[in-house]
Amino acid sequence: MNGNGILEIIAAIFIFGGGVLSVLSALGLMRFPDIYTRNHAGTKSTTLAVLVTLTGVFMYFWIAEGYISVRLILGILFVFITAPTAGHIIVRAAYRSGVKVSDSTVEDELGPMLRKKEGEREGES
Amino acid sequence: MPAQFLTNLFIAFLWMLLNDEDELRFSTFFAGYLVGIIIVFIMHRFFGTQFYLRRFFALLKLILIFIRELSSSSVFVIKHIVKKEVTIKPGIFYYKTELRGEWEVSLLALLLTLTPGSVVMEVTPEGDAFYVHAMDIAESRENLLRSLAKFERAIMEVLR
């Protein structure tokens, strides 16, 4: 086995690892109690999975075909910009429209702040 | 700073010409540029300004810190996913940041939301504090605060 073969296997391991991470985060999506914790599993582990998979694909193209794919790097970049924005907006919208946090939640410092602001607005009108 | 950049370009050109190849190759130019970076770094104090690639290296450091936090907290989340029973205690806590300005605060929020186990839920209207939802606040609060401080320091190095 030559050096390229070994590197190809490493790339394959990266891609496989990305797949496993995706499966695990899908599992987390089903198991966690409320939308906020599900959001952790859904958006976050998936970003890592995408990162690992695309890195593996990038390595494979580089080794096997001697071709540096800029598009894959741009893909990673854009996933990294959009995924947290979407996660933040989903959680924020959910909290503002009154989705309950799960019973196991131990502390909540945001609720009192929002309720206070609501009270102020009602007091003005 | 422009003086340093021009010196570096000059060294790269010189390197390319002194190599005396049949044609002008970009790879030789790039090698010369790398050599030039080392030379300019050694003599940058004579220019009286900071090294012009300092921000670039700070950015690399920020990316490395981010990748480390990303993998360590992913392991943490996955450990909770595959546990037999879900025993997490989520919570929302308030964090006041030292960073100022749109770029710094949004960069910190982006990095914090990307690392598993924490989501920024709200930024206060003044833009100087976050409400962060942590997946397991009882266990990971210390870790989270430590990585927050690390990110803050790295971001300051890049943007200031």
Does residue B76 share a domain with residue B24? no
Choose among B78, B86, B122: nearest Cβ to A110: B122
Give, to the nearest 10 degrees, the angle between helix A45-65 and helix A3-31.
160
Does residue B107 share a domain with residue B131? yes
Residue B39 has pLDDT above 70, yes or no: yes
Q: What pLDDT is attached to residue A16? A: 93
A-chain residue closest to B109, CA distance: A84
Choose among A45, A95, A102: nearest Cβ to B90: A102
C-alpha to C-alpha distance for B75 and B116, rounded to whole angstroms: 9
A-chain residue closest to B139, CA distance: A106
Does residue B58 share a domain with residue B41? no
Does residue B146 share a domain with residue B80? yes
In this structure, are residues A58 and A72 in contact, taking their beta carbons and an 8 Å threshold? yes
What is the count of structural domains for chain B? 2
Does residue B137 share a domain with residue B65? yes
Does residue B73 share a domain with residue B38? no
In this structure, are residues B148 and B111 in contact, taking their beta carbons and an 8 Å threshold? no
B96 lies in which domain range? 54-159
Mean pLDDT within B129-156: 83
Residue B94 has pLDDT above 90, yes or no: no
A-chain residue closest to B80, CA distance: A28
Whether B90 and chain A come into contact, CB under 8 Å, resolves to: yes
Does residue B8 share a domain with residue B60? no
Q: What pLDDT is attached to residue A19? A: 92
What string of DSSP letters covers chain A?
--HHHHHHHHHHHHHHHHHHHHHHHHHHHHHSSSHHHHHIIIIIHHHHHHHHHHHHHHHHHHHHH----HHHHHHHHHHHHHHHHHHHHHHHHHHHTTPPPPTT--EESHHHHHHHHHHHHHHH-
Pairing of strands B129-134, B91-96: antiparallel
How many angstroms away from the CA of A2 is the closest CA of chain B? 27
Residue B76 has pLDDT above 90, yes or no: no
How many angstroms away from the CA of B146 is the closest CA of chain A? 19
Question: Among A42-46, A59-63, A79-83, B34-38, which is the least confidently predicted range?
Answer: A42-46
Determine what percent of chain B is predicted with pLDDT higher than 70.
100
Of B32, B47, B62, which residue is a domain's last? B47
> Within its chain, how far is the Cα of A39 from the centroid?
8
Question: Among A22-26, A58-62, A119-123, B14-18, which is the least confidently predicted range?
Answer: A119-123
Whether A86 and chain B come into contact, CB under 8 Å, resolves to: no
Choose among B90, B114, B121: nearest Cβ to A110: B121
Mean pLDDT within B72-80: 82
Both structure tokens of B85: 């029973």
Does residue B142 share a domain with residue B99? yes
Does residue B132 share a domain with residue B84? yes
Does residue B115 share a domain with residue B87? yes
Q: What pLDDT is attached to residue B69? A: 85
pTM: 0.77
Q: Name the residue with higher pLDDT: A46 or B29.
A: B29
**Could you report the predicted ipTM of this complex, rounded to two decimals?**
0.74
Does residue B97 share a domain with residue B64? yes
Distances (CA, A) of B143 to A24, B76, B129, B137: 23, 11, 19, 10
Which chain B residues are closer than 8 Å to A79 by Cβ?
none
Whether A61 and chain B come into contact, CB under 8 Å, resolves to: no
Does residue B95 share a domain with residue B63? yes
Q: CA quadruple B62, B114, B72, A48: dihedral positive or negative?
A: negative
